[in-house]
């Protein structure tokens, strides 16, 4: 996993200089779809390298579910379309975990503070601004409480991954 994250960041770093473009519009609004999930996003461009915004999403798979709402900051290293993002907010993640005391898998749900790093690429379709496509990878991590079947709570850490494509309009 560490190798994948390192190679992804390296690819964004190297390709950003090759595909750099100027950001023309100040407001970006999009909806994103993953294999079994959806989200919405707003972004306000502050300058050619930095933007702030918000996102809300829900995502599920066969083994885990997650949803959250975040305030986000994006950094565009070369004033281009490649970016790194950090989101902070509230989220819930759930799934199955190995329970060694009982010797089988048990279900967990962790809710609390969410830290959500992402990398992605904005692709304008046509002229600069207007309609765009935004493929990205997001790793929502939740630090919070897990309440078991006997109503005992514990502090735990949970995470999931989202591979999604957003489509939106800049104005």
The pLDDT score that the predictor gives to residue 57 is 97
Specify whether the backbone of 46 is left (phi greater than 0), alpha (psi in -120 to 50) or beta.
Answer: alpha
On the CB side of 170, CA atoms within 13 Å amount to: 23
The pLDDT score that the predictor gives to residue 12 is 40
The pLDDT score that the predictor gives to residue 100 is 63
The pLDDT score that the predictor gives to residue 10 is 42
Strand 130-138 to 104-121 pairing: antiparallel
The pLDDT score that the predictor gives to residue 61 is 79
CATH number of 2-170: 2.40.160.20
The pLDDT score that the predictor gives to residue 159 is 85
Domain range summary for the chain, segments of one domain joined by +: 2-170
Average pLDDT, consecutive stretches of 10 residues, N- to C-terminus, the chain (171 residues): 45 39 74 94 93 96 87 88 96 78 73 96 82 94 83 84 93 85
């Amino acid at each position: 996993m560490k190798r994948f994250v390192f190679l992804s960041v390296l690819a964004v770093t190297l390709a950003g200089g090759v595909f750099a473009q100027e950001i023309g519009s100040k407001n970006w609004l999009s909806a994103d779809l993953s294999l079994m999930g959806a989200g919405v996003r707003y972004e306000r461009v502050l300058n050619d390298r930095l933007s702030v915004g918000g996102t809300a999403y829900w995502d599920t798979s066969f083994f885990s579910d997650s949803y959250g709402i975040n305030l986000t900051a994006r950094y565009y290293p070369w004033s281009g379309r490649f970016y790194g993002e950090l989101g902070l907010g509230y989220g819930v993640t759930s799934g199955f975990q190995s329970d060694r005391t009982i010797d089988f898998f048990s279900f967990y749900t962790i809710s609390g503070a969410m830290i959500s790093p992402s990398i992605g690429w904005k692709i304008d379709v046509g002229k600069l601004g207007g309609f765009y496509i935004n493929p990205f990878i997001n790793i929502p991590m939740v630090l919070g409480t897990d309440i078991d079947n006997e109503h005992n709570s514990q502090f735990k850490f949970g995470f999931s991954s989202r591979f999604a494509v957003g489509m939106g309009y800049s104005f």
